[in-house]
Structure 1
């Protein structure tokens, strides 16, 4: 059953607000729309008929279906944002989601790619680029190097423009979530790989190609799904349980920086996190590292 016209119009208006005024990505807006359409279908009431009991029943249904705590949390966030907006716009008298609480998310740290696993993936991609002599293999190496060197999100990687790379300063300018711009350092191996790719890029580019660094096989802007496949294939040998793909390299970059002594605020800035609390997941330490720090620092170790 589709949501009634009242729901559909409001969801469309809210999606427009998220895009135009909050600058959220198309992917995020699509997720919000999906969550709200599901609430509309399951609740069976008009927007102004939503109350706390309806919301709690909806969450109970999700739990019975085995939805993960992270999924429930995201949907609660979607609904809270929508109802707060609806109240601010005078569309509902009261926001019933104020007292709605999402289940706590279990603290599960991702298994981060080790430095040796990343080095192996990059070395393998470099060998393939040299042996194959194919322009796209050179592109793939550059993509991997930039992903690990800068920790960019996959959407940021695919949107990175040629003019955004400052070879002299060793930095890239990134337009991140919410349209926020930041400057991120990039290492020499990544700059070299990008330089090699840019020399081969005309072999792939077309007259209609965008000014993005990375292009697809047909000369268009690189699709995030293709970027994920490239990184996934390169890091697949990291072993079971390791988080692979572009986000896995982002996790690895942040963890390796902190393990190397980088401060949390700097890593937060590089990753483009709005809150340092999001970055704190990377401060986890292994028992071995903890013991080593204790032996080094404690006067009676």
Structure 2
């Protein structure tokens, strides 16, 4: 029995930022679309509801290359240092890092590769740099993976204190502590390192389709956001003010 005006009044009454209102609008639209698809509603009045535009804050969440490296180099614990290295060097999502097992890693010449089970149930292969592969090898040796009760290939790359896979909340704590140690803002998260990977590799001349494949973006348009967030030139530089 809900009417269009009631939906609009509800969204207009919501407190918070435009992002909060946009999230609520998207949830309502999704619910009403589903209700129509299963035959619960004859008409989907949510189709006419406009999701309010939100400010793109991606540029505010891209740290400098120096800051990313500082976070890694100042981390005193080997496991955590390798974790930060893989988040940044591989551009992995936090869930992908937590799900890595040694069987997912394979030597490629002097470096290596990781088979990553990513967002949407999609699997991709990420080539790792020589430097990242070396610290992973050091972690494996230090952790004594070959001496564990379970087969070495089945062991998680990043172990918790209890011997299982590290969970996302623990990764968040590691990243937050590393950011504080480096004197960075409190908002820094694991995903910021993924943003940094995309932006810095594009800055260094990596082809956009290659960055797309490495990060596992479904569309090159998603990767292209980093070009807009960090433009290399501006017409403002041609003015005398």
| TMscore range, shorter length | 0.7 to 0.9
Residue 52 of structure 1 deviates from its aligned partner by 2.0
Bigger shift: residues 271-280 or 260-269: 271-280
Residue 159 of structure 1 deviates from its aligned partner by 0.9
Is 2:233 aligned against 1:290?
Answer: yes
8 Å Cα contact 1:171-1:186 kept in structure 2? yes
The whole-number CA distance in structure 2 between the counterparts of 1:247 and 1:282 is 14
Residue 149 of structure 1 deviates from its aligned partner by 0.7
The whole-number CA distance in structure 1 between the counterparts of 2:229 and 2:6 is 42
Q: Which has the higher contact order (CA 8 A, sep 6+)?
A: 2
Can you give the 5+ residue segments of structure 2 that lack an aligned partner in the other structure? none
Residues 110 and 149 of structure 1: is their aligned pair in 2 closer, same or farther, counting only changes over 3 Å?
A: same
Residue 232 of structure 1 deviates from its aligned partner by 1.8
Can you give the 5+ residue segments of structure 1 that lack an aligned partner in the other structure? 1-48, 129-136, 296-301
Cross-structure match for 1:57: 9
Residues 69 and 274 of structure 1: is their aligned pair in 2 closer, same or farther, counting only changes over 3 Å?
A: farther
Cross-structure match for 1:268: 212
Deviations 1:144-175 (A, max 9, x none): 11111111111111011211112226221111
Alignment of 1:114-193 (within 5 A): 114-125=64-75, 128=76, 137-168=77-108, 170-193=112-135
Residues 208 and 216 of structure 1: is their aligned pair in 2 closer, same or farther, counting only changes over 3 Å?
A: farther
What RMSD in Å do the two structures reach over aligned CA positions? Answer: 2.7
Residue 236 of structure 1 deviates from its aligned partner by 2.5
Cross-structure match for 1:69: 18
Deviations 1:55-92 (A, max 9, x none): 21221121xx2x22222222222222222122111121
Residue 283 of structure 1 deviates from its aligned partner by 0.6
Residue 99 of structure 1 deviates from its aligned partner by 0.6
The whole-number CA distance in structure 2 between the counterparts of 1:279 and 1:96 is 33
Cross-structure match for 1:244: 188
Secondary structure in 1 matching 2:108: coil
Indicate the structure with greater helix content.
Answer: 1
Residues 151 and 180 of structure 1: is their aligned pair in 2 closer, same or farther, counting only changes over 3 Å?
A: same
Alignment of 1:165-244 (within 5 A): 165-168=105-108, 170-202=112-144, 211-239=155-183, 241=185, 244=188
8 Å Cα contact 2:96-2:117 kept in structure 1? yes
Equivalenced residue count is 231
The whole-number CA distance in structure 2 between the counterparts of 1:206 and 1:75 is 48
Residue 197 of structure 1 deviates from its aligned partner by 1.4
Residues 238 and 61 of structure 1: is their aligned pair in 2 closer, same or farther, counting only changes over 3 Å?
A: farther
Residue 143 of structure 1 deviates from its aligned partner by 0.5
Residue 257 of structure 1 deviates from its aligned partner by 0.5
8 Å Cα contact 2:74-2:182 kept in structure 1? no
